[in-house]
Amino acid sequence: MDTDLRKYLQQTHNQLTWKEKIKIAYGIILALSIIHSENAIHRDLHSGNILNLQLNQKWYISDFGFCGPADKPLNCIFGNLPYIAPEVITGKGYTFASDIYSFAMLMWEISSGQPPFMNYEHDYILAIKIIDGKRPKIVSGTPLRYANLMKKCWDADPVRRPDINTLVGEIFDMYENKLDELPQPKAKDKMKTTIPQPKAKNKMETISSKSFTSKIYNFENLPEPRNATEKEQIAPFYISRSYDFSSSDNSDNISSKKLSKVFKKLQINSKNVDDFNNLSNEKNVNTESSEYKVDKSEINSNYIMQDDHKKEIEQQAKKHSLDINDDDEKQDELEISGNVSKKIRTS
């Protein structure tokens, strides 16, 4: 992998056309559709785990440490706060729709070139801001159709968000048929969306670390999420009432990197989530990193999964990353290390 989405946008955003931006979004949503087709939820989508291989211009979704069956909820709230859906913050658990919310934040990041809520600490203030319906300001020059779809995806009500199949169709149509109608950013808009470059190197490292850090949070006695009005979106943020919020302290704070180590011998199945729910309550876990690689290719017109060596995959889980072609590809290859191959054809 040459770079992740966050760094890729930082380096190239001002040179990207809207066609190229939508191409990235299309690749990501295709990958997410494969995950959802397996009745699994990723639970920790952010720009640090969307990876790009420059040689063949393919994109990958990585970090499956918390990916698991939709019917086996986790007993904690884990993630990168700006990308966590408001209903998850209030304790209602992860769903397919919460992944869609995270994708909306990625859509905004692609449009703006910077992580959402970059200037906020990932703490009490930001959590309340998200619950109260505040969202990143839509960047000037963003195509209306793209902006409207993004707003539907970050709706406070998960029921009102589009499902994965609708999103694949909408973004494909936007990419395939409407590109000539998409306005390109004006020069002044490009200047507005340029990522500010901190003078001090350690400040940039702090921002990068904050943008990519996932951790466990504890949220209690929070109100129901809501959508903010347009007036509230542009008004200065303030807290008008008291909430009970806490996140893990230094002794309990488990980063995404450390937590992923717990899963070296775990697979995506019902037992895995039970094992994690037990492990997530332990403060000192001695673990090693876990990954397994996924690849996809054509068999027929439907999503058909064929497991050739299930016994072996149960004995060894290796590097994982979901290879997605960000073009309007007709075929994708899905390969899982441990000598398990699965084939998929996307229609």
DSSP string for residues in 75-103: SSEEE-GGGS-HHHHTT----HHHHHHHH
| pTM of the predicted model as reported, rounded to 2 decimal places | 0.66
Q: Report how many domains make up the chain.
A: 1
CA distance linking residue 44 with residue 64, whole number of Å: 8
Note whether residue 133 is domain-resident: yes
Note whether residue 345 is domain-resident: no
- Contact (Cβ atoms closer than 8 angstroms) between residue 77 and residue 89: yes
E strand or H helix at 170: helix 164-177
- Ordered strands of the 244-247 beta sheet: 77-79, 215-220, 244-247
CA distance linking residue 336 with residue 322, whole number of Å: 9
Note whether residue 315 is domain-resident: no
Residue 28 C-beta-side C-alpha neighbours within 13 Å: 28
Note whether residue 325 is domain-resident: no
Domain holding 88, by residue range, is 1-63+74-181+212-234
Q: What is the pLDDT of residue 75?
A: 75
3 state DSSP class of 212: helix
- Contact (Cβ atoms closer than 8 angstroms) between residue 9 and residue 21: no
Note whether residue 190 is domain-resident: no
Note whether residue 273 is domain-resident: no
Note whether residue 56 is domain-resident: yes
CA distance linking residue 19 with residue 15, whole number of Å: 11
- Residues annotated as catalytic are 44
Question: From first to last of its 347 residues, what are the pLDDT tens digits of the chain?
Answer: 578 999 999 999 999 999 999 999 999 999 999 999 999 999 999 999 999 887 878 788 988 878 888 888 777 788 899 999 999 999 999 999 999 999 999 999 999 999 999 988 877 788 999 999 999 999 999 999 999 999 999 999 999 999 999 999 999 999 987 555 555 555 444 444 444 443 434 444 444 455 567 778 777 778 899 999 888 888 765 454 455 544 444 433 443 344 344 333 333 333 444 444 554 444 333 323 333 333 333 222 223 233 333 333 334 333 334 444 444 443 343 333 333 333 333 33
Nearest to 96 by CA among 156, 168, 36: 36
CATH number where 125 lies: 1.10.510.10
Note whether residue 17 is domain-resident: yes
Q: What is the pLDDT of residue 158?
A: 98
C-beta atoms surrounding 34 within 10 Å: 23
3 state DSSP class of 291: coil
- Contact (Cβ atoms closer than 8 angstroms) between residue 187 and residue 164: no
Question: Can you say whether residue 142 is alpha, beta or left, with left for phi > 0 and alpha for psi between -120 and 50 degrees?
Answer: beta
